[in-house]
Chains A and B, each alone.
Chain A
Amino acid sequence: MSRIPQRGALRARKTTPTFAHATPRALALAALLSTALGSAPAWAQASSSASSSADSLQELRQQLDEMRRQYDARIQALEARLQEAQRQSTSATAPQASAQAPSAATRDVPLDPARPMARQGAAGFNPSVSAVLSGGYNGLSKDPETWAIPGFLPTGGEVGPGTRGLTLSESEITLAANVDHLFYGSLTLAVTPENETEVEEAYVQTTALPAGLRLKAGRFFAGLGYLNEQHAHAWDFVDAPLAHQAFLGGQLKQEGLQARWVLPFERYVELGMELGNGNAFPGNERNRNGAGALLLSAHTGGDVGLSHSWRAGVSWMRTRADGREWESEDPNGGVDPLTNSFTGRSRIWAVDGVWKWAPNGNAKLTNVQLQGEYFRRQERGDVTYDTTDITGTGNTTDAYRSAQSGWYLQGVWQFMPQWRTGLRFDQLESGSVNFGGNTALAEDARKPRRTSLMFDWSPSEFSRWRLQLSEDRVRADGVDHQVFLRYQVNLGAHGAHSF
């Protein structure tokens, strides 16, 4: 239903002079680039010249295929008999081999080679199910209720160090399977400790598009940088870096459409584009038909020798906010906070890199992983200051501009099987923030920062026990010493994680 007005708008735009002006250049560049890229692989040589003789060949080929089929069937029947005979002879002549009877929990399954059976029961069509359970203990020297990042507009969302004492983290349930021959689908539900269920990710992804292309639709974590796209249980630290908390409200997910293209090169190069509804911070719900957020990304990576591998990239996102609200204290000491809002454009650049080392590429014994990301966000628009409650003369709206940045760098070292330790350093720069006439909202420039030390133990691939110590110098009122203990276990299907 919502497509109708959009298509109307689409036709109307066709006649606008700006678009007509851009078209020839768009065409030229598109054609040039695609020709250059498309012709790159040496093995992609076309065989169109042979198409004329193909018809006559076709008949021969069909006959040949028919012969081959008969031949294969006969061979397979013979093989089946041979195998049966072998099986009988081995069981007769090698009693010692079977003396070591397979353990009670296993059996040996002969397979009919003529018709390989699906090694699954009737439940094989069920999607793979996995659940991640997590919880632990938070010891915080300062009251988390008063936690805020000074110098940054509050983000809402899941930010801050969490609650004190014994806690339950989000429990995740993931169902995933191929939908049919064209699509793969995945649903991740998060059950919060407040007994609410939320859809963390729910998307459909293509599996059958040619040429390294894939499309994804639904709700998913935005491909902005490195960590944002991973589920929190795959992170190496208990919490998100400060940059994610300040610029993305913890983790950015939205509803939209994503296109990814792995270029046909020997080196990994992947381009990505996302159109999102822009409902999530730094955007907000705007009651519009069009896409609210656009995200572009490019990543590359590779191996250096047997022991090193890396990935690096840049991403850029543009979104808009329309009356994105936040609360601030009443300077006159009123009990009710003031509700201010921002309307305008928000752009984020993210640069990310990860480097992994494992001797001979065997990460089982020992390995090191270094990763870092840099974010820069620029916002431009108007801020409405809720002065009605202060002066009684109505809100004041004036121009707002900000350019702020943040980064983190972390290293994780698995020093022996099952045991890892890691160090992370986080920093934000409140940068330049201009509230125009709303000078009362301005804050001093700040560099909130945090250092975190982590130890974890993973007795198997399915459970992890973690201790994290953080020295949080984010708050304006001093240092918060934090202790986190976490368990994190995975039930069900074996997860596969991205690099």
Chain B
Amino acid sequence: MNPIRIPRSLTRHLAHALPRLPRLPRLAAATLLAAALGASPSHAAGPIKVVACEPEWAALTKELAGNQASVYAATHALQDPHAIQARPSLISAVRNADLLVCTGAELEVGWLPVLLRQAGNAAVQPGRPGNFEAADHVTMLEVPTRLDRADGDVHAEGNPHIQTDPRNIAKVAQALGQRLAEVDPANAAAYRQRLADFQARWGQAMQRWAQAASPLKGTPIVVQHKGFPYLEAWLGLRQVAALEPKPGVEPSSPHLSAVLQQLQGQPAKLILRAAYQDGRASQWLAERAKLPVVVLPYTVGGSDRAQDLFGLFDETIDLLLKAR
């Protein structure tokens, strides 16, 4: 430990610059300013601090950084990533972070901007190397051609739930591996090696999943929230209805009845929902339409088996195959 030294002259100048305040506030102010100016961040040793907005990016960072990073997941699988509070614990986590790994595409629009403004951490502001947005590196689906809140909580940049397609994970991994090397150049070689290793394992796993999931192709499904377009595109699932009348709007009984009606002419095989979503609407429909509900882990930690990215997709494929 090498305590940060503050030049005496700096403190004195600061104390002199605040002469109009009474003594106690003047002390406090001089201390605050001196410490803040003196304690500029320098972290050559030790793991870099990464704050991941969602569990899938926390898991990916752990794969790519190993012991080189200490990873803090801002949310977990049972939370709706749209609706997170800018809690004090998150402010301090962002304040101390070297790298922020988030989805972007406005998924975190209700809370991340507040954290960024309140944390006072220049290194992780948008546009800096310390701010990584996964959505920058994949092909966005469902990009609205018109923006109207009457269409529900649509995201201007496209559907942000990109983590349900493992091909996206591979693309994000490529970019994140490079970013880690940029943020922590001392360990760049290690990051590159881990990235290559991960991509090799991931490529094999993707082949395995694609093979196992081939019977799923064309399966008609009902989703709770429009949160699965990437999974659908990957596996060739066919979404015939959504329980939310509009994205982000709670399922209502008239809409559910309409969906039930629709399913008579256009049958589906399963109802998909994410682990964090309320189960009542899908249960209601499942009983009447005699369909199984598949509760997908959706992200790492969403089920006992989905403890890492590999487990997440193993579990997802198994659940879908079992219910089909």
Contact = CB atoms under 8 A, between A and B. Distances in A.
Contacts of A97: 232-233, 236-238
Interface of B: 1-6, 8, 11-12, 14-17, 19-23, 25-49, 75-76, 78-80, 83-89, 91-92, 95-96, 105-106, 109-114, 116-122, 125-127, 136-146, 149, 151-154, 156-159, 167, 171, 174, 178, 181, 185, 188, 217-218, 229, 232-233, 236-240, 248-250, 276, 278
A303 B167 CA distance: 35
A19 B35 contact: no
B42 A46 contact: yes
Contact of A262 (B5, B34, B119, B185): B119
Contacts of A301: 87-89
A337 interface: no
Contacts of A303: 87, 89
Contacts of B238: 96-97, 99-100
Interface stretch (A193-201, A277-285, A370-378, A455-463): A455-463
Given A30-B11, A207-B117, A116 B136 contact: yes
A496 B6 contact: no
Given A110-B139, A210-B122, A211-B39, A494 B87 contact: no
| Closest 3 A/B residue pairs (Cβ) | A301-B88, A34-B35, A47-B44
A46 B4 contact: yes
10 contacts: A26-B15, A30-B27, A105-B145, A105-B146, A106-B141, A116-B137, A211-B40, A213-B120, A267-B92, A417-B278
Contacts of A440: none
A411 interface: no
A268 to B, nearest CB: 4
A231 interface: no
B157 A119 contact: yes
A116 B105 CA distance: 13
A79 to B, nearest CB: 7
B309 to A, nearest CB: 20
Given A31-B6, A61-B185, A106-B142, A261 B32 contact: yes
A96 B217 contact: yes
A365 interface: yes
A50 B75 CA distance: 38
A381 interface: no
Interface string A287-314: 0001100101001111100100111000
Contacts of B26: 22, 26
Nearest to A269: B92
Contacts of B151: 105
Interface stretch (A36-44, A146-154, A422-430): A36-44
A96 B39 contact: no
A48 B2 contact: yes
B143 to A, nearest CB: 5
A275 B196 CA distance: 54
A211 B145 contact: no
A262 B229 CA distance: 40
Interface residues of A, number: 113
Nearest to B152: A460
Interface stretch (A132-140, A164-172, A354-362, A431-439): A354-362
Interface in A245-272: 259-262, 264-271
Contact of B143 (A75, A108, A361): A108
Contacts of A261: 32, 36, 120
Contacts of A207: 116-117, 122, 125
Contacts of B249: 459-460
Q: Which has the most chain A C-beta neighbours within 10 Å: B19, B35, B84, B119?
A: B35
Contacts of A496: 86, 109-114
A271 to B, nearest CB: 6
Interface string A84-118: 00110010001011011011111111110100100
Nearest to A302: B89
Given A211-B36, A360-B79, A363-B85, A273 B29 contact: yes
Nearest to A25: B27
A117 to B, nearest CB: 9
A418 interface: yes
B26 to A, nearest CB: 6
A262 B120 contact: yes
Given A43-B46, A43-B49, 7 more contacts: A26-B23, A42-B46, A105-B151, A105-B154, A264-B39, A296-B28, A497-B86
A4 B229 CA distance: 63
Given A47-B44, A102-B141, A212 B120 contact: yes
B175 to A, nearest CB: 8
Contact of B142 (A46, A108, A268): A108
A25 B174 CA distance: 54
A271 B5 CA distance: 21
A435 B180 CA distance: 67
Contacts of A417: 250, 278
Contacts of A487: none
A39 B41 CA distance: 10
Q: Which has the most chain B C-beta neighbours within 10 Å: A22, A29, A38, A360?
A: A38
A268 B43 contact: no
A35 interface: yes
Nearest to B92: A268
B80 A311 contact: no
A209 interface: yes
B1 A268 contact: no
B136 to A, nearest CB: 5
A1 interface: no
Contacts of B22: 294
A26 B30 contact: yes
Contact of B88 (A41, A209, A363, A499): A499
B41 A210 contact: yes
Contacts of A260: 118, 120
B180 to A, nearest CB: 13
B88 A35 contact: no
A208 interface: yes
A271 B321 CA distance: 54
A498 B20 contact: no
Nearest to A418: B250
A417 B202 CA distance: 39
A46 to B, nearest CB: 4
B191 to A, nearest CB: 11
Interface string A157-191: 00000000000000000000010010010000000
A266 B70 CA distance: 13
A74 interface: no
A470 B5 CA distance: 57
